[in-house]
Every structure is written in C-alpha cells, then in structure tokens.
Amino acid sequence: MNWAARAALCGCLLLPGAAAQKHTSGSKTSPVSAFKLIAFKVTGTARYSDKEILVASGLQLAQRSSDGDFKEAVRRLGNSGMFSNAAYSYSTSSAGTKLELQVTDVESSKLVPAHFENFVWFTDDQLHATVQKSAPLFKDLLPMGGNLSEHVSEALQALLSEKQLPGRVNFLREANGPEGAMSAINYRVEEVSIRIRAVEFPGASPQQGGLLEKVASKSHFHVALLYNEPEDEDQQSTDDAIAGLDKAYNSYIGPEAKYHDAYFTYQGHPVIFIFPKQGHVDWNHVRDRCSAWAATPLFIYKDEPPAQYAADFAGSYAWVQPGAGEWSPDGSNWGEKYLDNFYRTMRNKHPDKIAIGGVWPGFDDSGAKWGLNRHMQRACGKTFDETLHMYDRYYDSTTTLPFLLIETWNDYEEGTAIERGISGPGCAPDQKLDPNPSAAH
C-alpha cells in the first residue's frame, strides 16, 4: 500500500465519509483566510522537531493549503523511509487552518549510518549542514528503504555543481557479507581525478606531527600508475597497450610532463603496475617500444608473468585474493596460503626481482552489480593484521621487502576500504594492532 493510500485509510477510520482526514470547521462558509495554515503540530516522533517535519513535508506556515497539500505532505514523509506510519487531521476556522500530523518513527534497527568517502573539498560538518538544508530528515542515519538516500545524493550533487566541482555522486548500500543485513550507505564522487596537495595528522602531538611530515612529506607523495590489460585480440591488445603507455609517458611520467615528479619512481625509473586480463599483450614488443624512453619503466606484474615475458618485468605484486579457486562461502579464507606462496616464490625463485607485498582488511563484492558473492571476513581487524605481517616469514632486516601495497578501494564495491577503520561492522572500535599476531610471524 502506498503512503497516499495509507493516509486516506487513516482518515476514513478517523471520520467516516468522503473526506480522507479528520476535519472540523468553525463555520459553514469558510472565508479565504480559512485556507491559510496558521498552526502545525506533530505527535508521535522522538527524532524530529515540528520545524524539521514542517520543512520536510513541503508545507509552509501562513501559506494557503488544502486537503490535497496535506495528503502530499504525508506521502513525502512516508516515502522518505523514516516513518512506519503517518496520518493527519486538521480543523478550520475563520482565522485559518490548524494541522496535526501523527507519525511513528521507523525502528532504529532499520537505520544505518551514512558515510562520505572522498568529498575531499569539504569537512564532514560542512557536508552534514549542506545535506540537512535540502533533506532535513537526515541526521547521520538513513533508512534501509525509502527515498531519503536519493535525496541526500541529490543534495551532494547540487553542492558539487554550486562549487563548480567535477564528478558525479554515487552511493552504495554496504552489507555484512553475501547474506548479511545492510550495514551502511556509502557516498562517493566518481568520474573525477583527485590530487593530494597536503596531508595532516589529526590527533598527533606537534612533535609527532613533525616526524610524520618528515617521513611522508606532503610535497613528495607519489602516484603509481596501473595499466589494465585489454581483453581484445592479440595484435589489437598490444597496440592498445603501446598507445596507452605512450600516453602515460607524454602526459604524466615523461620528463616533459608538467607534473612528472608527482609519480612513483624506483632508482630513477618510473614504476608501472600491470593488471593482466586475457594475456594477449606481447610484452616483448611493448618493452622494446618503451626502451626509447628517457628512463625505461619498471613493469610490475600481478603475481608471476607468463614465462615468455618474464624478462620484461622488474617484479611482481600480490593482489587481494585467497588463492586460485579457494574463496570460502563463510569468508574465513583471508589469503594466508596465497600470500605465503607469493612471498616464498619471490624470495626463493626470484630474489633479483622487486617484490611488492599485499595488505588488505577484507573483501566483499556482494554489493556490486558484477559481483560473484566473494567474501573475505574482516574478523574485527585480524585479517588486516595477519596480511600486514605475512612477509615476516620470508623477509627480515638483512633481506628486506622494499614495498607493501595496502589494497584499499581497488574497486569501491569490493569492500576493501580502510578509511573508516579495519575492524568492520559489528566489531568494537579499532584497537592497536598486535605487532606479533602469531608465533608463525
């Protein structure tokens, strides 16, 4: 039953007859002033004030309003998802109309937090204040159903447009595993390139902040490029790879590129990660083409490259996964066997190659349209802790691992974000990680 129908039913129960509301009148012939809304009262809500409900309803005091306007107001409130029931009654006199709304707040168990992921131009307080102007029912929590989440998205998009900022606002409903209940609604800006200009360390003392700035100098953050192999036929794939890498060289990492110093290099060579697809690219040919660059690139392949192209790659990186064909339905396989094999192979078989380890908090693509219901439990931070220390089995102070790759937001819908913490829903707030989580480390 839609909310307009619910309002009509409630009205009929209050007063039998043709009118779909409780209505009393002080005179048989009402003057024009009788249609002016002079009083507004709300009962049944512990979450909102009368003023907040009035704004959300679309009604205005001192404005002419009719029964149709009241029905529309109830429909708006109901469609928001913040109320499990809504009805209205009103009375008229020569002075005007007095309206009373009767609402029932939706249960708290049907509300989830809203997260704003990469709105880097604004503080959280600014975002909340802006959203509440357009969606006054928003107070950090959103209903699992209803259209309030869409109104929040529209308010955020309007903010970007007002500030002439690029990007498109999108949101994703996050769940606790493939069969789990919704746990949050996450908003982020897509179709925009975000460049880090400065980094701050909230909570650090002045002394700590100075050390952190020295280690992670805000003017020396670097961006690493990753090339996704295309899925076309052999020759076209190779041509596409060459064209894409030439574009990267001329526009981003080459010496003539305006911001080339913002990109990740190792021992003077630009580093480019390669994510394989169908394996159709002829990397021997690509490597020959890139040898003409002022500084030849270091190609880093996901896991081991095909044997015929092994010499074209300077190293390998680990990527979030439990191992080939080993996704467990309950998400308990966090990738120990995969990471152990990766580090063992790089340490013993390819000691001359660059090994880039992998760290992740968990994985869950059940909310993605293209997802395969693959799940890796966060285990209240234990997964992050375990993957963080896996390399200790094969590397030490004498044979060091040069890099660790924290694989967060590799695809937003894959549930690897660490920006809100590593514990995951249903866990206590993040605790300090155990530097020695198991004897094996």
Of the chain, the percentage scoring pLDDT greater than 90 comes to 46
Using an 8 Å Cβ cutoff, are 184 and 114 in contact? yes
- What are the tokens at 151? 């109104």
Answer whether 254's CB lies under 8 Å from 293's CB: yes
For the chain, how many helices (H) and strands (E)? 10, 17
User: Is there a contact between 186 and 115 (Cβ–Cβ < 8 Å)?
Assistant: yes
177-191, 250-264, 321-335, range with greatest mean pLDDT:
321-335
Cα dist from 127 to 139, 140, 239, 299, whole Å = 12, 11, 44, 40
Does 174 score more than 90 pLDDT? no
Per-residue pLDDT, averaged over 35-58, amounts to 93
Query: Cα(114)–Cα(10) distance, rounded to whole angstroms?
Result: 32
pLDDT at 296: 92
Nearest to 316 by CA among 334, 292, 343, 294: 343
387-424: b (≥16 Cβ within 10 Å) or e: bbbbbbebbeeeeebebbbebbbeebbbbbbbebebbb
Q: Is 209 helix (H, G, I), strand (E, B) or coil?
A: helix
Q: Please give the pLDDT value at position 33.
A: 52
Q: Tell me the C-alpha distance between 100 and 118, whole Å.
A: 41
Buried b (16+ CB within 10 A) or exposed e, 274-304: bebeeebbbbeebbeebeebeeebbbbbbbe
Choose among 45, 23, 14, 8: nearest CA to 98: 23
pLDDT over 50 at 16, yes or no:
no
Average pLDDT, stretch 284-293? Answer: 94
Proportion of the chain above pLDDT 70, given as a percent: 78
Pick from 103-107, 255-259, 296-300: least confident: 255-259
Average pLDDT over residues 144-173: 91
The Cα-based distances of 10 to 69, 70, 234, 372 in angstroms read 16, 13, 67, 44
- For the segment 383-394, the average pLDDT, to the nearest whole number, is 93
For the chain, list the domains and their CATH numbers. Answer: 3-105 (3.10.20.310), 108-190 (3.10.20), 206-414 (3.20.20.80)
8 A C-beta contact, residue 186 and residue 117: yes
Q: Which amino acid is at 429?
A: P
Q: How far apart are CA 145 and CA 80, in angstroms?
A: 8
Out of 5-19, 22-36, 82-96, 124-138, which region has the weakest mean confidence (pLDDT)? 5-19
DSSP letter assigned to residue 428: P
